[in-house]
C-alpha cells in the first residue's frame, strides 16, 4: 500500500478548505520584532498567526536564538494553518529587516523583583537608542511601537533617535493596562470578560489614570455594580499589575498579555483599521495638554496615530491625566540627554 504521508491536524474536510482559502489570501508587508526574549518571540508568533503579513522578522543580539525560534515557528505553520514566514536574524544584525512597515521594539533589560521602572532607564536607554538608530537607517518609513520599559520615556527616546514624525512612534501602554483592569473587574464580579469595558490613560506606571466613569459591566456603569472601595482596590491592583506578575514569577516579567497588546497595535497599523486604542501617543493640545508622550486613546492606521481621540472625563480624571502629563514630561526631558 502506498504511503499517504503524515497526518496533520485540521487537514481534512471543511478544515482543509479553510486552510486552502487562507493560503490563497493576499498577504503583504513586513513587521520586525526587535528582541527575541519571551516578550518578543511571543509577539512574533502572534503576528505570524494572524496570517496577514508576508514576513515577520525576529532579531536579537544573540547569534542563533532568533534563527532557532523562527525555524520552530515556521514548523508550526502546517499545524496552525498560517503562511506568514518568520525570519530570524541574530548577532545584532538588521539585515533582512529593511523596508519594514512596522517595527516593534521589545529589546531591553526586564524588570526584576524590587526594581522600579526608573531603575531600568539608563541601561535601556542605551539599548533603545541603538535600536532606534538602526531602524531609522534600514526602515525609514516604518511605524514604531515601543514596549521597552520605562515605557513613556523609551517612547520619547525612540522618536528622538529615529527623528521620525511623532505620529509614527507610539508606545504600548494603555492596551495592556486596560486589559488588566478589565480582567480584574471580571474576576471580582465573576462576570464574562467580554461583558466588561474599562479604560486606563496617563502613564504606564505610578501615574496611571484608570477611568471608572468610562467603565461598564453589561452596559451598566461600574459604579452601579461595585462600591467605591472595591473599585479603588481594583484600580490599585491594575496600577501594580506588572509588579504582581514579577513577584509571582520570581524571575522575568509578564509577556503573554503585553505581547497580545503590541500585536494588536501592529495589526491595526497594517490593516489601516482606524481602531481606537489606548496607547502612548504624542499629545499636542488635547485635554489642554501639549508637548508630551502620554497614554491616551488614539485612532490607529498605516500612518501610525491618525489622531488623538478626546473622550469625556470627570474633573478628577482630567486632573489625574494632567498630573500624569507633568510627571511624564519631566522624565521625558531627562531622556533627551541619554
Alpha-carbon distance 137 to 139, whole Å?
Answer: 6
Alpha-carbon distance 50 to 36, whole Å?
Answer: 19
In terms of Cα–Cα distance, which of 34, 86, 37 is closest to 256?
Answer: 37
Cell numbers describing residue 314: 470627570
Are 333 and 153 in contact by the 8 Å Cβ rule? The answer is: no
Q: How far is the CA of 83 from the CAs of 26, 51, 54, 107, 163, in angstroms?
A: 10, 6, 8, 26, 34
Residue entry with cell 469625556? 312
Q: Residues 204, 239, 267, 331: which is the catalytic one?
A: 204
Is residue 327 helix, strand or coil?
helix
Are 143 and 269 in contact by the 8 Å Cβ rule? The answer is: yes
Alpha-carbon distance 308 to 70, whole Å?
Answer: 36
Are 51 and 82 in contact by the 8 Å Cβ rule? The answer is: yes
How far is CA 38 from its chain centroid?
14
Our answer to whether residue 233 is catalytic in this structure is no
In terms of Cα–Cα distance, which of 60, 91, 61, 55 is closest to 73?
Answer: 55
Residue entry with cell 520619547? 156
Are 100 and 54 in contact by the 8 Å Cβ rule? The answer is: no
Alpha-carbon distance 173 to 276, whole Å?
Answer: 14
Catalytic residues: 204
Amino acid at each position: 500500500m502506498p504511503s499517504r504521508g503524515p497526518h496533520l491536524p485540521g487537514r481534512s474536510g471543511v478544515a482543509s478548505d479553510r486552510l486552502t482559502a487562507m493560503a490563497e489570501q493576499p498577504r503583504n508587508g513586513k513587521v520586525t520584532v526587535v528582541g527575541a526574549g519571551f516578550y518578543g518571540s511571543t509577539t512574533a508568533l502572534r503576528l505570524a498567526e494572524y496570517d496577514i503579513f508576508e514576513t515577520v522578522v525576529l532579531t536579537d543580539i544573540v547569534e542563533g536564538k532568533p534563527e532557532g525560534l523562527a525555524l520552530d515557528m515556521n514548523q508550526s505553520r502546517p499545524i496552525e494553518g498560517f503562511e506568514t514566514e518568520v525570519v530570524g536574524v541574530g548577532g545584532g544584525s538588521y539585515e533582512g529587516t529593511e523596508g519594514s512597515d512596522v517595527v516593534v521594539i521589545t529589546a531591553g533589560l526586564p524588570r526584576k523583583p524590587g526594581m522600579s521602572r526608573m531603575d531600568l532607564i539608563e541601561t535601556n536607554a542605551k539599548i533603545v537608542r541603538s535600536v532606534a538608530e538602526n531602524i531609522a537607517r534600514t526602515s525609514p518609513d516604518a511605524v514604531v511601537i515601543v514596549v521597552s520599559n520605562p515605557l513613556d520615556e523609551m517612547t520619547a527616546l525612540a522618536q528622538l533617535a529615529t527623528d521620525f514624525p511623532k505620529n509614527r512612534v507610539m508606545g504600548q501602554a494603555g492596551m495592556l493596562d486596560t486589559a488588566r483592569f478589565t480582567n480584574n473587574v471580571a474576576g471580582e464580579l465573576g462576570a464574562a470578560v467580554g461583558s466588561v469595558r474599562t479604560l486606563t490613560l496617563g502613564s504606564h506606571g505610578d501615574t496611571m489614570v484608570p477611568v471608572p466613569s468610562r467603565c461598564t459591566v453589561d452596559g451598566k456603569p461600574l459604579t452601579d455594580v461595585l462600591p467605591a472601595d472595591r473599585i479603588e482596590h481594583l484600580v490599585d491592583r491594575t496600577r501594580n499589575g506588572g509588579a504582581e506578575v514579577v513577584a509571582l514569577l520570581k524571575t522575568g516579567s509578564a509577556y503573554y498579555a503585553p505581547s497580545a497588546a503590541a500585536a494588536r497595535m501592529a495589526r491595526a497599523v497594517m490593516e489601516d483599521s482606524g481602531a481606537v486604542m489606548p496607547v502612548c501617543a504624542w499629545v499636542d493640545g488635547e485635554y489642554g495638554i501639549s508637548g508630551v508622550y502620554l497614554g491616551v486613546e488614539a485612532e490607529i492606521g498605516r500612518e501610525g496615530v491618525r489622531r488623538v481621540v478626546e473622550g469625556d472625563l470627570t474633573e478628577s480624571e482630567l486632573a489625574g491625566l494632567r498630573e500624569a502629563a507633568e510627571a511624564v514630561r519631566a522624565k521625558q526631558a531627562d531622556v533627551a540627554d541619554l
